[in-house]
Amino acid sequence: MLVRNFSIIAHVDHGKSTLADRILEKLGAMGERDKRDQTLDTLELERERGITIKSTPVRLTYHRPLREDGTGGEVYTFNLIDTPGHVDFNYEVSRSLAACEGVLLLVDASQGVEAQTIVNAYLAIDNNLEIVPVVNKIDLPAADPQGAAQELEDVIGIPAEDAVFASGKTGEGVEQILEAIVERIPPPPGDPQAPLKALIFDSFYDAYQGVILFVRVLEGTVRAKDRMMTYSNGKSFEVDKVGTFTPGLIVAEELSAGSVGWIAAGIKDIHDAQVGDTITSKDQPTTDPFPGFKPAQPVVFSGLYPTDTEDYRKLREALERLKLNDAAFVFEPETSEALGFGFRCGFLGLLHAEIIQERLEREYDLDLIATAPAVVYRLTLTNGETFETQNPAEFPTRDRIETMEEPYIKLSIMLPEEFVGPVMQLLQERRGAMITMNYVGKRVELLYEVPFAEILYDFHDRLKSISRGYASMDYEQIGYREGDLVKVDIMVQGETVDALAVIVHRDKAYSLGRKIVDKMAEVIPRQLFPVPVQATIGGKIIARATVKAYRKDVLAKCYGGDISRKKKLLEKQKKGRARMKNIGTVEVPQEAFLAVLSTDE
């Protein structure tokens, strides 16, 4: 069987989806009516932002041209999987690679090797995949194809002479890429007669057919009416349909060893077929399942609440369906005094959080409030107990805490030399510690260890603006370290407001406390008495702002006359206000919470 399974991997914006378009065009998978940019980006969001979020598989047929020496002329089946490039969707890439034997590693001819290029290359090496290096965008005026190929050799160790030069825009070099796929990527192993063994590498929920599984068949053959079983929980189902991708779903007679396709088996419960599980035959199960995927650990947590409390159940159903399609996303119910019932959701990064929120709002027609993102802290109590939390409301009092630890990341930044100074200054502000600085061709690679909480909010935007868009970053978790962290509480009229507490490093506590109280003082409605808004650490006030009182002009009727009369009236007003303050309580409106809690601020 002449089959090649391969993936396209690269840094963000190095032209994966555009090159995939040219390959589809060349192999006749796009009719004139289907022609559009980013064919494999099926989500509306992907097309709008110009990024790939979900891996998309497609089956192609390649008629190899006859050569003069009489070789060639064979017909090959290609299974291509287009993958995301952004660090937050690295998990998608690792799952796609498990279904392949080789990869096309793209490098932009004008940008060279970037942070994410290196990470993706090592992912492919770890999976024992054959790498075909492709230097893309050779049509750009600033392109330096030879320099980019040499960078690949210097940084990753892939020989420069192995590189194929191409342009996803003009289609130049696509022929050479197709030949390199045939010659360099090995055919898939597997015996079609062996017991069925297939890996679920993705899935989605269809309202009519239930859960649709995306599988790579490793051994055996699967057809409609077969009895199949999921290995982890032993549940069995009858296969309704099997098929391939073009990139839409096309029904086929069977899927045999080496092929990539989809299975519909009337699976109603989304928990019955998890990504990474092995599918096998009910009557003749395989003895060695696929080892599965290491579960992705969410690193950023944020609360999602429906603005209309009636939508709580609808939100729950939407989250469950999204989780099926995105195994790296987790959620659990939580309540907040200010916002009511909602869910605490875990993501792989800020872009991941943003995409999930947008998909919920668009695909499921929900109106949501998202609270500011937070990382997971690890606390050791004085009684020796250890626990992890990302919710400041769960923090015990300071006297019960022995040590507090925060997550750290190893941050790699690739940038042109002239921006090194300002970027190092930015990293210093974010409590970063330098590990090394390497020169890679014309550019510099900075390696830093930074607390994860410091890069959560606006770090990426700041980095891009300082480097005029030339810097690229990638990070990996490196565990927990002890930090001088404090819990900043917010008090309104002497009452602590749970929902507004934040965890922050002691050095930044004052500036953050100042920001929050000033913001609250702007949005809390004025009363007939002054309302103090205070930021405190363990009872000690670090910042204060006052909501000024409405004031009746009691001197309006005094036209001149003795000053003592005016003083008497002002004194009387002061006493009345003090009495009102004793019995007056301040209603903090939901808008005030939103202004402080929402991710926009």
Greatest Cα pair distance in the chain: 118
Burial category of 276 from C-beta neighbours within 10 Å (exposed 0-12, middle 13-18, buried 19 and up): middle
498 is in an annotated binding site: no
What is the spatial distance between Cα 130 and Cα 493, in angstroms, rounded to a whole number? Answer: 65
553 is in an annotated binding site: no
**Any binding-site annotation on 574?**
no
| 75-82 β-sheet, strand order | 56-63, 75-82, 3-9, 102-108, 130-136, 164-165
Other Cβ atoms within 10 Å of 479 Cβ, number = 10
C-alpha–C-alpha distance, residues 131 and 152, integer Å: 12
Tell whether the torsion through CA atoms of 99, 103, 104 and 105 is positive or negative: positive
- Residue 139 assigned as binding residue: yes
Report the sign of the C-alpha dihedral through residues 338, 339, 340, 342, in that order.
negative
Polymer length in residues for the chain = 601
Residue (of 464, 485, 471, 580) closest to 527 by Cα position: 580
| 136 labeled binding residue | yes
Sequence-ordered strand ranges (E) for 483-530:
485-492, 495-496, 502-505
Give Cβ neighbours of residue 509 (< 8 Å, ≥ 6 apart): 486, 488, 537, 542
The annotation status of 288 as a binding-site residue, yes or no, is no
Residue 71 known to bind ligand: no
> 556-572: b or e for each residue (b if 16 or more CB lie within 10 Å)?
eeeeeeeeeeeeeeeee
Task: Write down the residue that tokens 């392949």 correspond to.
Answer: 100
| 464 labelled ligand-binding | no
Q: 13 a known binding residue?
A: yes
**177 annotated to bind ligand:** no
Amino acid occupying residue 588 = V
Query: Could you tell me which of 372, 526, 410 has the C-alpha nearest to residue 119?
Result: 410
Binding region for GTP: 13-18, 136-139
Residue set of the binding site: 13-18, 136-139
